[in-house]
Amino acid sequence: MAVSKSGGGGTLRDLQLALQLKIEELRQRDSLIDELELELDTKDDLIRQLQVELDRQRSASRHAANAAETPSTAPDEPQRMKRQAISAEPTAMDPSQLTDVTLKSYGKNKDELIQRALMDNDFMKHLEHGQILTIMDCMHPTSLTKGCCVIQEGDDGSTVYVLEEGMVEVTKQGKKLCTIGPAKVFGELAILYNCTRTATVTALTDIKLWAIDRQGFQTIMMRTGLIKHSQYMDFLRSVPSFQSLPEDILSKLADVLEETHYSDCDYIIRQGATGDTFFIISEGQVKVSQQDSPGDEQVVVKTLAKGDWFGEQALKGE
C-alpha cells in the first residue's frame, strides 16, 4: 500500500513538472512562430517583387530582339505593360543604355566563399551560373569596424552584401532577429526594387564585406539576359520541329527555357520513363544509349554535342 501511494504521488509530481515544461516549450514555440511569420512576410514581398522584375526583364528582352519589327499586339501585351508600370522601380533601364554603364572587376582571394554565399541565398540561387560569376566578379570590397551600422531600418537601400569576415546582428524595431556569420548574403531586396530597408544590420565585430548596387546588378541581369535570350532564339530556330513557328512564339519559348547543369555520367533521361521535358545542349556532350529488352546491355546509339537537342517529342504528348 505504501508503495502504491508513493508511486501515485510521484506520478502526479511528474505530470506537474511535465506540464510546466510543456508550457515553457509552447512559449518558445510561439516566439519562434512570430519570427517565422515575420520572415514569411519578407519572403512574400520578395516573391511579389521578383514577379514584377521578371515581367519587366522579359518585356525589355522582347523589345530588344524585335526592335526592327512592328510592336506586337498580342493579347497579353497590355497586361505586361500594366505590370511593368506598377514596378516599384521608378524608371526601367533601356537596353540601349547598357553600353553606357561600365562594370568594373575586383580581384578576390575568397572566390569560393563568395560564390557559395550567393548560391546558398534563396534569391540568388535561382540565377544562372554565368550570372552568379559575373555578379561575384563585380562586387567591390568594403570594411567596417565593430559597432558600425551596415544597414539602417527605414533607410533607402540600393546595395546587397556578402559577409566575408566577422559577425553582424539583425534587428527589427529594436528586437533581435538573428546573427549572421561569414559566407552569407543580406540586403538582397534592395537590388530588386527601390525600397526602404526592412531591418537594421550592425557589426558585432570588425567585418569585411563585398557589395554590389542595384544599377550594377540590373546591368548584369539585362546584359546576360539579352545575350542568353538571343542564344536561346538561335537554338530554337535550329530545331526542325520549331522552324515553322513565328518569331513571337519562339521568343516566348526562349523566355521559359531554364539552364540546368549535369555532371559527367549523370542520367538526364532514362529509357521507359515518362517524358515531359525538351533539352537543348548549350555546353558539353550527351551519350544516347538504348536497351532492346530488359536484361540486355545498353547500346550507344549516338553522341550529341552543343546545339543538338533531344526530348522534343515529350512536348507533343507522353
The mean pLDDT of 110-134, rounded to a whole number, is 84
Task: Please tell me the least confidently modeled range out of 94-103, 286-295, 296-305.
Answer: 94-103
Overall pTM > 0.85: no
Say what percent of the chain tops pLDDT 70: 72
Of 313, 152, 154, 136, which Cα lies nearest the Cα of 241? Answer: 313
Q: Is-contact 306 281, C-beta < 8 A? A: yes
Measure the CA–CA gap between 199 and 174, rounded to whole angstroms: 9
Task: Please tell me the least confidently modeled range out of 13-27, 84-98, 105-119, 288-302.
Answer: 84-98
Residue with cell 546587397: 160
Contacts with 85 (C-beta within 8 Å, 6 or more apart), sequence order: none
SS3 per residue for the chain: CHHHHHHHHHHHHHHHHHHHHHHHHHHHHHHHHHHHHHHHHHHHHHHHHHHHHHHHHHHHHHHHHCCCCCCCCCCCHHHHHHHHHCCCCCCCCCHHHHHHCCCCCCCCCCHHHHHHHHHHCCCHHHCCHHHHHHHHHHCEEEEECCCCEEECCCCEECEEEEEEECCEEEEECCEEEEEECCCEEECHHHHCCCEECCCEEEECCCEEEEEEEHHHHHHHHHHHHHHHHHHHHHHHHCCHHHCCCCHHHHHHHHHHCCCCCCCCCCCCCCCCCCCCCCEECCCCCEEEEECCCCCCCCEEEEEECCCCEECHHHHCCC
Phi first, then psi, for residue 176 (nearest 5°) are -70, 130
Kindly report the number of other CB atoms within 10 A of residue 176's CB atom: 10
Across 43-47, 186-190, 201-205, 261-265, which has the greatest mean pLDDT? 201-205
Measure the CA–CA gap between 224 and 230, rounded to whole angstroms: 10
Contacts with 57 (C-beta within 8 Å, 6 or more apart), sequence order: 221, 222, 225
Mean of all residue pLDDT scores within the chain: 76
pLDDT in tens, 222-278: 887 788 888 888 888 887 777 888 999 888 888 888 878 899 989 998 888 888 888
Contacts with 240 (C-beta within 8 Å, 6 or more apart), sequence order: none
pLDDT in tens, 94-118: 555 555 556 677 777 767 888 899 8
Task: Please tell me the least confidently modeled range out of 71-75, 138-142, 287-291, 301-305.
Answer: 71-75
Give the per-residue pLDDT at 97. Answer: 52
**Residue 229 class from Cβ within 10 Å (0-12 exposed, 13-18 middle, 19+ buried)?**
buried
pLDDT in tens, 34-68: 777 777 777 776 777 677 667 666 666 555 544 44
